Amino acid sequence: MAEYEFTLKFSVAENLAQGVIEDKLFEAGCDDALIGVGTKGRLALAFCRESDSANQAIISAITDVKSAIPDAKLIEAEPDLVGVTDIAEMFGFTRQNMRKLLQTHVNSFPLPLHEGRAALWHLADVLEWFEAYRDQSTSPASKEIAQFTMRLNMARDFQRVPADDLKQLAASL
């Protein structure tokens, strides 16, 4: 078994008291999570869960949360999206060095998910690039978590796309 670290963010009913939320989550098996309820109607859980795979760890955590708070809706699973500063810190670069690395590897570095004032990438793509092009790797558990959180967030987003549009959109990519 490996240990997996990830964060799940949910939308919950605003009228749930913090003490009630914490008790329900603990009873449902979320005793391996730090619970954040700083914003009304939002819940963040930072898990450190032992499991045979990242998929099992995250799915069991979602199942535990939903058994405690049935109306909870997943907003996001992390780690997934990263910016230049996040990447630089992860690999021990300065932000300026990371920008220079991006400029010199513009053809091979993964395409950003969002490009603008602050560009965003999927962490899984960035980790794969660093392993392939810079011979810098991270733990297998970190890569596995990044890959699964990316797929989970994408699956959640795809649920919002009407089925009739999926084929047309896929063909245009």
CATH code given to domain 81-138: 1.10.10
Q: Which CATH class is domain 2-78+149-158?
A: alpha beta
Contact call for residues 125 and 110 (beta carbons, < 8 A): yes
- Map out the domains of the chain as residue ranges: 2-78+149-158, 81-138
**Kindly report the CA angle at 97 between 126 and 78, in degrees rounded to 5?**
30
pLDDT in tens, 107-145: 999 999 999 889 999 999 999 999 999 988 889 999 999
Please report the pLDDT score of residue 102 as a whole number.
94
pLDDT in tens, 37-86: 878 889 999 999 999 999 999 999 999 999 999 999 999 999 999 999 99
Q: Within the chain, where are the H helices? A: 18-27, 54-68, 84-91, 95-104, 123-134, 140-158, 163-172
pLDDT band at residue 169 using 50, 70 and 90 as cut-offs: confident
